[in-house]
Chains A and B, each alone.
Chain A
Amino acid sequence: MPANFEALASVIEQSEKDLLSRWIAALTAAGATRSGQTSDKELKDACGRFLKELRNALKSGAGEDIASPPWQDVREVLEEISTARALRGYSPVETALFVFSLKEPLFDLLRKVLAREEHLADVLIASGGVLDRLGLFTTEVYQKSREEVIKRQQDELLELSTPVIQLWDKILALPLIGTLDSARTQIVMENLLQTIVDAEAEIAIIDITGVPAVDTLVAQHLIKTVAAARLMGADCIISGIRPQIAQTIVHLGLDLQVVSKATMADALSLALKKTGQRVERLAARG
């Protein structure tokens, strides 16, 4: 196989300029610049760098396994290009096209240069194989960078949706709204415990009026949070448990082992009492 790669490398080296311009033409025709989103110069740079690294890798005796160290520089170029495309909203097909569109001009060239050579077929198969793998690699990188974008957005959303409110001196409230999944509950709870420390709170009211359903995992997170808060010297009160959720909790056989109150107002009144505070109506004036 290295013999085929050497042949491929020398063919690329001989007509690198020609190959480059035909590849760029093919890419442009396929709409790779996305009407100006990627500049011609940028595309040309990317193609040039890729061809150069590909040639170097082939010459340095790189094998078929594109995950091996000799392919490192090629992978880096592709990673950079795919990541940039993923962030700009290119589709996976458009991203993979970068490598796949090199096939036609390269195969034409091989056929021309090696026309009389016995090993033409072997070189073609080997080249096709390696370009396929590199093309798939771009899709993989694309996928990963999209996942990172989604993950970042999720984190941002989580931060937005988990406010811990200082309700009174020593009393915090955490109004939970919307569906609680396990990951969100965990972050919300960590946030609550940290705020207990920062605000020197003694009581935290977790209000779940806005939560449509509670599954076992979420209920367990709630229980764990209450237990962790207790270890830290703070008490929790859960308020606003809907009838269906109460039924679920009973049905799941969970023992919440926590003080619960029907409404946030009831919970606040209990919290005030426990912290030795009182709110009074002023005597009617005038």
Chain B
Amino acid sequence: MLTETIETVPIRSSEDIVRVRQKVRFHADAMGMSLIDQTKIITAASEIARNTFEYGGGGELLLEILRDGARRGLRLTFSDEGPGIADIEQAMRDHFTTGGGLGLGLGGAKRLVNEFDIKSQPGEGTRISLIRWK
């Protein structure tokens, strides 16, 4: 599998969440993803970017294009140095929220992508990566 890094996007304000959506849209479109696939990965990115900003105290998004034979995909890796998540299983559950949200962020985002990976330790930040194949 070949990986090509495209760019990193800082997530420091709520305007940056909009920029994340725009960047993801641009690259998903350039890859030739269908409208529905684009919408799914943009929406997932928006959810996770908001988590990074609100719970992680800000961080960044790394955008990469993956090639696996004829298959191409977009990988988004969100990382922050915030407080981390103690109970990942609980955080993934629908309607679980420590903030004021609907609590669909993590679990919902997972349903919108093909591959979802989360690594987090209390005090060591959180790293979430999403892959949507074309």
A contacting B, Cβ–Cβ less than 8 Å = yes
User: CB of A76 within 8 A of chain B?
Assistant: no
Residue of B nearest to A148 (CB): B70
* Cross-chain contact A144 with B36 (CB below 8 angstroms): no
User: CB of B99 within 8 A of chain A?
Assistant: no
Residues from chain B with Cβ under 8 Å of A144 in the complex: 69-70
* Cross-chain contact B36 with A190 (CB below 8 angstroms): yes
Mask, B68-79, CB within 8 Å of A = 1, is: 011000000000
Interface size class of B (residues with CB under 8 A): under 10
**Those of B55-98 within 8 Å (CB) of chain A:** 69-70
Main secondary structure of the interface of B (DSSP, over half): loop
Minimum C-beta distance from A253 to chain B (A)? 18
Residue of B nearest to A67 (CB): B2
Interface size class of A (residues with CB under 8 A): under 10
Residue of B nearest to A147 (CB): B70
**Those of B1-43 within 8 Å (CB) of chain A:** 36
Residues from chain B with Cβ under 8 Å of A148 in the complex: 70
Mask, A110-131, CB within 8 Å of B = 1, is: 0000000000000000000000
Cα–Cα, bound, A148→B36 (Å): 21
Minimum C-beta distance from A41 to chain B (A)? 29
**Those of A181-238 within 8 Å (CB) of chain B:** 190
Residues from chain A with Cβ under 8 Å of B70 in the complex: 144, 148
Residue of B nearest to A187 (CB): B36
Cα–Cα, bound, A148→B71 (Å): 11
Cα–Cα, bound, A144→B70 (Å): 8
Residues from chain A with Cβ under 8 Å of B69 in the complex: 144
Cα–Cα, bound, A51→B131 (Å): 39
Residue of A nearest to B36 (CB): A190
Minimum C-beta distance from B2 to chain A (A)? 10
**Those of A117-154 within 8 Å (CB) of chain B:** 144, 148
Residue of A nearest to B34 (CB): A190
Residues from chain B with Cβ under 8 Å of A190 in the complex: 36
Minimum C-beta distance from B121 to chain A (A)? 35
Cα–Cα, bound, A144→B36 (Å): 25
Can you report 4 A-B residue pairs in the complex whose CB atoms are below 8 A from each other?
A144-B69, A144-B70, A148-B70, A190-B36
Name B's A-contacting residues (CB within 8 A).
36, 69-70
In the A-B complex, list the 4 residue pairs whose CB atoms are closest, starting with the nearest.
Answer: A144-B69, A144-B70, A190-B36, A148-B70
